[in-house]
Structure 1
């Protein structure tokens, strides 16, 4: 009488075993097929045009990213809020971290196209808000909206890799990084020209950013019409929603925002030991720790999909190294132009031209490494060399004094060579070391971790700089001008006017002479140079650690002519 339930229970267990085995076989086939099958039939107009449209989106994204850092003080000069300028850049990097992985995961279920199109359109809307900003809060809100476009940034790297053969993947990544370099160069040169020519030139710049983002979204929407992905066709909407890692998204977003908020407030304006810094810092660290536990134990196919780490050590090393890459890049992006303007230049165009050398060099090096790696299949050596260059660049910047103006023209070229090599090869080695079916989430994690590194690095470097400047500025200027006759009672007003380059106010301060102003300017620049030095030393130390870590990469073994996601069904 009890045999029927036992039979049904046995049949159910057998069915579950068969389904589990079939699922494992399908996963294995996904991994194996992309290695052995050559399905490349040559380039055609569709592939070329889609690739070009993706590069246009990348170009537009870097216009905004570089502009948010380079022209933050120009925005503040018009709308106020100079103490909040760091959030123009932080809004972008936080949203890249928070949105990159979930958008990448969702793109595997709903396809890549409309995530790219809609988020790029959001970038257009946000740029328009920045262009019309009447307060720093409004400008930051504009960058928050504009920052949504960076959630699609990993898809740019994923799509160009999927539509071309694996052997050409370094070339695909090199091309997109060259476009990023061109975007950065255009942002610096065109933007500085607009700042110089117009009273509120930042508005003209962001109108330009808005126009390019709008055009790139339209072109991509028209050109990119790939076949539906397997999961896109086989799952219902409800099943797709259930597959998303909602707990992971919450922990990532809340942890990142809390952690970065604490670091950004450290010494700006709160002390490190204050509750305003320690509370969000500890909460953020706890939430990010909970994310790791959740992904390791409870959700093994979520944001940190365990399959990503089963192909060897490459992906783990890539995550650490690209984290440092983000820190190094954002140190240079936010502080090189700042230092050149503070020490050597008054013309915004010349400041932009100096840092523009970085992007010229990165374009050249991206093309160089694309050719080299496609021919030789070597990726580890260029990564090690790139971080060694970062050490050299930051070491050179740490040595800058008031007589280093000419040498400072050369240093950005070293940085640019490293950027072109590192990002191209890091994305390539990570994608070739993880399952092809997870290429979007692989890239999403890489870009998110790079942005997280940039965000944390920017907050740390800002704290280092502000702390040093507070210690050096007042005492240094006092030591220089009080012996020349400036009354101590007028010192605070003198420092404020000098720091704001307010000549009219300077001349109204009792006892001020051209000799005192000259000595004050010299002391001001010396204090700035000493404060920047701490930023470069910290960045150099981080780059040195990443150089050593890069030596542990293994050369990928799967560089073939297979195309992971052809644009045509056939």
Structure 2
């Protein structure tokens, strides 16, 4: 135990330096600057982010293609929700473990899980196997905080915004690949080609794991070489991990089942929700009162920028996962069934993300500010959601090309400025757990958001579709027994099949199609209004950020050189 206490004191001593508490002579120590080795590592790490975006964007944009082949359309929300849950649950413990055992092999092992998961999805014959594939693949997202941490800690702090921008550029390229390749292979009514897409995703994961294994060879961190294996295991927050997993899982299940298909008053919805909320309360009580160096390490909250950043990133998760699941869905429902075409619509987001991420890096580095760009980013989110809520059946398709620009601008700016603000607000020794909590909160926001949006969407659609579609078609002579088949055919875009249904005429088909589209418009509108409300809350919160001007300096938090540590007396790994 004395060894653990000694190591904790070392972390706390390092953790005492943050934001404006930097000694005046900190910059007098010669710093390595930007090295070729550091740039190679940044490139290697970014290949993992590219692979992760290929998987998660595909899970949303190709969900209808997958279920068209394997069935289970009502379960498609779990494709993305599973990834979001695992990211939220795994990010903090993986970040803590990386400080003790090193980043390299954790990154390689978890990325390999992404490859295995993609293979399972590509070979799936039913929706349960697809969900299993996304579950295995979702394990790789536990490494996502390390991607933000490593790119930041190997470069001088004055280039912190550029480090985060590089991550965002690679993520954007992955998103563009996902939309264009996914759309190309499944267009012209070929949903079965989703298998080809995930074969390529598996290959990308494998290449990313190999690149990191070969190129990323950092020197051992102090805690890795000064603690024995037993000391490392005892220093982990096992009770915190258990409470995190046991609280988020039932909470997410309860939310996902609400209005899909169970009502909020159902015991199957209320029971897991209540259990989840109670365990979340127990987790917070334990971390605040009894565990000062656990998942919610108390040194992380010495400056207000970090809790503000956590709140803002959770609301960003609410907005991003909404766009990821509903933007292409709405384009495909109202305007075109061509997968490549609505993929092109959404890809505008990622092209703009690249431009605005680089623009934010220039601004943050030059002005040494994070508050204004973060506020502007969430304003863009709110504007995007508000514009999407105005869409009607008569709205020109051309408008949506412009709306996606605001989403891309918001993503590009906040991903650069807000992560920079959080990392500068916390001790350098805790950069991994800082990034872990940030990514975890973003995913938690996504889990909650997907459940809320799903409940809103399903409630609005079910309450309108019967009156609008059935009312319009029965009034024109359609037998009531043919209504369900007509709605199914229209939803799938199968006009030929719809006309083959008994009693359906071209006139009835046109009237029913109009009623169906109006029902979807109302459901989509309600979802976007909810997302806009969340974004406005983040706009207000971001106004209270403080610009960490003194933190943009020459220091490198994790220099790529071996420190002269005396490790002869330790049995370490």
1:505, distance to aligned residue in structure 2 (A): 4.2
Q: Which moved more, 1:43-52 or 1:478-487?
A: 478-487
- Give RMSD over aligned pairs: 2.0
Aligned to 1:397: 388
In 1, Cα distance between the equivalents of 2:265 and 2:369?
Answer: 47
Question: Would the aligned equivalents of 2:33 and 2:156 in 1 still touch at CA under 8 Å?
Answer: no
Question: Would the aligned equivalents of 1:53 and 1:216 in 2 still touch at CA under 8 Å?
Answer: yes
In 1, Cα distance between the equivalents of 2:50 and 2:168?
Answer: 9
Task: Give the secondary structure class of the aligned counterpart of 2:97.
Answer: helix
For 1:240-279, list aligned pairs within 5 A. Answer: 240-279=232-271
Aligned to 1:564: 557
State yes or no: 1:288 paired with 2:271.
no
Provide closer, same or farther for how the CA distance between residues 88 and 20 of structure 1 changes in structure 2, counting only shifts above 3 A: closer
Aligned to 1:411: 403
In 1, Cα distance between the equivalents of 2:96 and 2:7?
Answer: 24
1:22, distance to aligned residue in structure 2 (A): 8.1
Task: Give the secondary structure class of the aligned counterpart of 1:220.
Answer: helix
Task: Give the secondary structure class of the aligned counterpart of 2:125.
Answer: coil
Q: Which residue among 85, 94, 111 is the counterpart of 1:94?
A: 85
Question: Would the aligned equivalents of 1:39 and 1:561 in 2 still touch at CA under 8 Å?
Answer: no
Q: Which residue among 104, 127, 136 is the counterpart of 2:127?
A: 136
Q: Which moved more, 1:507-516 or 1:291-300?
A: 507-516
Deviations, residues 292-319 of structure 1 (Å, cap 9, x unaligned): 0000011110000000001x21101001
How many residues end up aligned between the 2 structures?
554
1:199, distance to aligned residue in structure 2 (A): 5.6
Provide closer, same or farther for how the CA distance between residues 199 and 436 of structure 1 changes in structure 2, counting only shifts above 3 A: closer
For 1:190-205, list aligned pairs within 5 A. Answer: 190-196=181-187, 200-205=192-197
For 1:174-213, list aligned pairs within 5 A. Answer: 174-196=165-187, 200-213=192-205
Aligned to 1:13: none
In 1, Cα distance between the equivalents of 2:199 and 2:37?
Answer: 30
In 2, Cα distance between the equivalents of 1:432 and 1:34?
Answer: 17
Provide closer, same or farther for how the CA distance between residues 134 and 367 of structure 1 changes in structure 2, counting only shifts above 3 A: same
Provide closer, same or farther for how the CA distance between residues 509 and 318 of structure 1 changes in structure 2, counting only shifts above 3 A: same
Normalising by structure 2, report the TM-score.
0.93
In 1, Cα distance between the equivalents of 2:197 and 2:11?
Answer: 52
Aligned to 2:355: 364
State yes or no: 1:36 paired with 2:26.
yes
In 1, Cα distance between the equivalents of 2:552 and 2:342?
Answer: 42
Task: Specify every segment of 5 or more residues in structure 2 that has no aligned partner in the other structure, as ranges.
Answer: 564-573
Q: Which moved more, 1:476-485 or 1:94-103?
A: 476-485
State yes or no: 1:68 paired with 2:62.
no
Q: Which moved more, 1:43-52 or 1:317-326?
A: 43-52
Provide closer, same or farther for how the CA distance between residues 224 and 251 of structure 1 changes in structure 2, counting only shifts above 3 A: same
In 1, Cα distance between the equivalents of 2:311 and 2:46?
Answer: 26
For 1:535-546, list aligned pairs within 5 A. Answer: 535-546=527-538
Aligned to 2:434: 442
Q: Which moved more, 1:376-385 or 1:32-41?
A: 32-41
State yes or no: 1:119 paired with 2:110.
yes
For 1:247-396, list aligned pairs within 5 A. Answer: 247-310=239-302, 312-396=303-387
Provide closer, same or farther for how the CA distance between residues 471 and 23 of structure 1 changes in structure 2, counting only shifts above 3 A: closer
1:20, distance to aligned residue in structure 2 (A): 9.8
Q: Which moved more, 1:199-208 or 1:249-258?
A: 199-208
1:447, distance to aligned residue in structure 2 (A): 0.2
State yes or no: 1:496 paired with 2:526.
no
In 2, Cα distance between the equivalents of 1:354 and 1:207?
Answer: 24
In 2, Cα distance between the equivalents of 1:394 and 1:359?
Answer: 17
Provide closer, same or farther for how the CA distance between residues 169 and 467 of structure 1 changes in structure 2, counting only shifts above 3 A: same
In 2, Cα distance between the equivalents of 1:73 and 1:471?
Answer: 22
In 2, Cα distance between the equivalents of 1:208 and 1:517?
Answer: 39
Provide closer, same or farther for how the CA distance between residues 23 and 335 of structure 1 changes in structure 2, counting only shifts above 3 A: closer
1:23, distance to aligned residue in structure 2 (A): 7.9
Q: Which moved more, 1:151-160 or 1:72-81?
A: 72-81
1:42, distance to aligned residue in structure 2 (A): 3.5
